[in-house]
Amino acid sequence: MIKTYDFQYSDPITNELFEGVISWNSRIKGKKPGILVAHAYRGQGALELLKTKQLAQLGYVGFAIDMYGKGIRASSPEEAQMLMDNLDTNRPLLLRRILLALENLKMHEEVDPSRIGAIGFCFGGKCVLDLARSGAEIDGVASFHGLYDAPKMENNTAIKASILVLHGWEDPLANPESVAALGNELTARNADWQIVVYGNTGHAFTNPSAKSRETGLFFQADSNSRAWQSMENFFEELFKKTKIK
């Protein structure tokens, strides 16, 4: 049985409130691996809720995090762009907020804090990549049609997380040069990384509501299912290794 409820947490320094959604399978006893779900630019919503439930069906605790603040969700593309830009231009704050969500997930009574992952979509893909770049104690991150520009801040610690990037070749928001730059960056930092590229696929390929083929933002059913399967295999391998240790 999948249990789902709103999960409120706060920043202990600023007292800002955040509200995500958490799901797990109550029929699976004991502590389970936890996976953050970082949202696209509109804010945490229905798509991220669906992903937490799908993760729960796989035996994980899925946590759809909130990067903007409780009740702050975009009602238009323009508002979404503004909300995303507020964090995109302040990457230390972006990192602070996803680290806050990570610590709250690790403390959840259903979660094994030694087995943690993160996935993100579009802007959320950038968030989970920054989490990995920070050297956070996390097994792995998977970015779905993410954004790849590196933050302009010192990251001298080792990248401990394995990294899976799931990318549409026709993505107008992440051209081949940015994909190559990400690969070079991760190689220079000696990360365990892989990039899977899907042909005839643009941005937002996991979102059934994306239908703007002319702008390169469109759902691609085959790439969506292949990417999710790649993510399943990725975490199954990582968590099995962690459990053996």
DSSP string, 10-35: E-TTT--EEEEEEEEETTS-S-EEEE
Write down the pLDDT at residue 112. Answer: 97
Q: Are 195 and 182 in contact (CB under 8 A)?
A: yes
Hey, what are 71's tokens? Answer: 């009740």
Q: What is the pLDDT of residues 155-193, one digit of tens each?
A: 778 899 999 999 999 999 999 999 999 999 999 999 999
- Residue 57 CA to residue 51 CA, distance in Å, equals 10
Write down the pLDDT at residue 245. Answer: 54
Q: Are 67 and 87 in contact (CB under 8 A)?
A: yes
Strands 211-212 and 217-218: antiparallel
User: Which residues of the chain fall short of a pLDDT of 70?
Assistant: 243-245
Q: Which residue has the tokens 């979102």?
A: 207
Strands 32-38 and 61-64: parallel
What single DSSP character describes residue 214?
A: G
Hey, what are 32's tokens? Answer: 């389970």
pTM of structure: 0.96
For residue 89, give the H/E element and its range: none
Determine the straight-line distance between the first and last CA of the chain, rounded to whole angstroms. Answer: 29
Write down the pLDDT at residue 243. Answer: 66
Write down the pLDDT at residue 202. Answer: 97
Q: Is 217 exposed, middle or buried (0-12, 13-18, 19+ CB in 10 A)?
A: buried
Give the domains, in start order, of the chain with CATH numbers: 2-244 (3.40.50.1820)
What single DSSP character describes residue 153?
A: S
Q: Are 158 and 181 in contact (CB under 8 A)?
A: no
Hey, what are 164's tokens? Answer: 């899976």
Q: What is the pLDDT of residues 15-37, one digit of tens each?
A: 999 999 999 999 999 999 999 99
- Residue 110 CA to residue 121 CA, distance in Å, equals 24
Q: Which DSSP string do the residues of 169-213 spell out, in sequence order?
A: TT-TTS-HHHHHHHHHHHHHTT--EEEEEETT--BTTT-TT-EEG
